[in-house]
Amino acid sequence: MTKVKFINGEIFIAGEFKEADFTVDTESGYFTINDNYSQVVSLSGKFVIPGLINAHTHISDLTANDKKQLTTITNEAELTIYAIKHLHELLSDGVTTIREVGAANNIDIKLAKLIKQHVIEGPNIIASGAALTITGGHGAGVIGKEVDGMDEVRKATRQLIKQGAKNIKLMATGGVTSNDQEVPGNVQFSVSELATAVEEAHNYGIPVAAHAQGNQGIKNAIKAGVDSIEHAIYLDDEAIDMLLETDTPIVPTLSAPDAIHDHKEDIVKWMYDKNEDVLIAHRHSIAKAIKAGVRVVMGTDAGTPFNNFDDGSTKELEKMTSLGLTSGDALLAATSSAAKALRIDDHVGKIAPGFMADFIVLDENPLANIKVLQYPKTVYKFGKLIN
């Protein structure tokens, strides 16, 4: 058993940096209080933060760079190869845990097991399997399983849990990218249908994330008791009050609409036009929610058009600060606050004994400049150097 003691570093603890030492058990991959170490590493002048958590990814989707080599996935072997590629890219950006919120062929559930067994290298995966959507709803036929009515929703939720899902994803509204007929304001699933999935998931201690862009769909999802609102494009005062009252966090995914906006010539017109309709409202809603004190969790929606895995997470943090989050709160949104939303805060998201030894070593203080996270950095996963 090899234990390594890291000394004299500035460690991110409860929103600020404090000089502290910590010990890593490289065999178990966890921080430990055991001082019977065999190696000492000085981190003098360095800043250390927990590994980042990206709470909204789609690793089975092809990015623009992928499509230069492959226009469509034709079998599960190709799907697996590209999903693993995306996992490696996330690691290089300092992301050591993801919540996958809709993957083809339940590939996230399968890869999560292989990572846990150390068969392949990648971030920890909180897998959802297929997202649940109504017939013809957002994500149908790609990453979604179509279900209608409380009985079908209940059975599908139970099936996903049986298959190994550690999160349930519900499509509560329409969106921008599915097809030219759908809009974010479309309400998809009733409150009763949403609440049925929440009840089944919570029976097993599993959280529920709701894709909710339109105002009424957001309110329906909050009423149903979901654990996070994804995107939150159209928030009015009532919706913000409901988020505060229930302490329901939002995952803004600012990178997704920005990426579409920045690639007008490469995006189909109907998608680009829909995205332009929501862009300003989205940023206004998130800024207003941040000012009101709504809890925010970092997620990028990586896998949507031109929304890459290799640098999107650290850029998302910068986008969040541009709308009012402090750098410290942005780091919490990608570490301990995200871990709480994913119900893994008993072992992920902090540099402390008993927690998974995932951490990043930086040359500069990210509280002074959040962009330093986009610079070259040293990433440790399971207590081992990965770059």
Active site residue 21: no
Residue 20, beta-bridge partner list: 9
Active site residue 169: yes
Candidates 61, 108, 227, 301; catalytic one: 301
Candidates 169, 274, 350, 381; catalytic one: 169
Chain position carrying tokens 């933060």: 49
For the chain, give the secondary structure using H, E and C.
CCEEEEEEEEEEECCEEEEEEEEEECCCCEEECCCCCCEEEECCCCEEEECEEEEEECCCCCCHHHHCCCCCCCCHHHHHHHHHHHHHHHHHCCEEEEEECCCHHHHHHHHHHHHHCCCCCCCEEEECCCEEECCCCCCECCCEEECCHHHHHHHHHHHHHHHCCCCEEEECECCCCCCCCCCCCCECCCHHHHHHHHHHHHHCCCCEEEEECCHHHHHHHHHHCCCEEEECCCCCHHHHHHHHHHCCCEECCCHHHHHHHCCHHHCCHHHHHHHHHHHHHHHHHHHHHHHHCCCECCCCCECECCCCCCCHHHHHHHHHHHCCCCHHHHHHHCCHHHHHHCCCCCCCCCCCCCCECCEEEECCCCCCCHHHHHCCCEEEECCEECC
CB 330 within 8 A of CB 370: yes
Residue 126, beta-bridge partner list: 99
Phi, psi dihedral angles at 37 (to 5 degrees): -100, 155
Residues identified as active-site: 169, 301
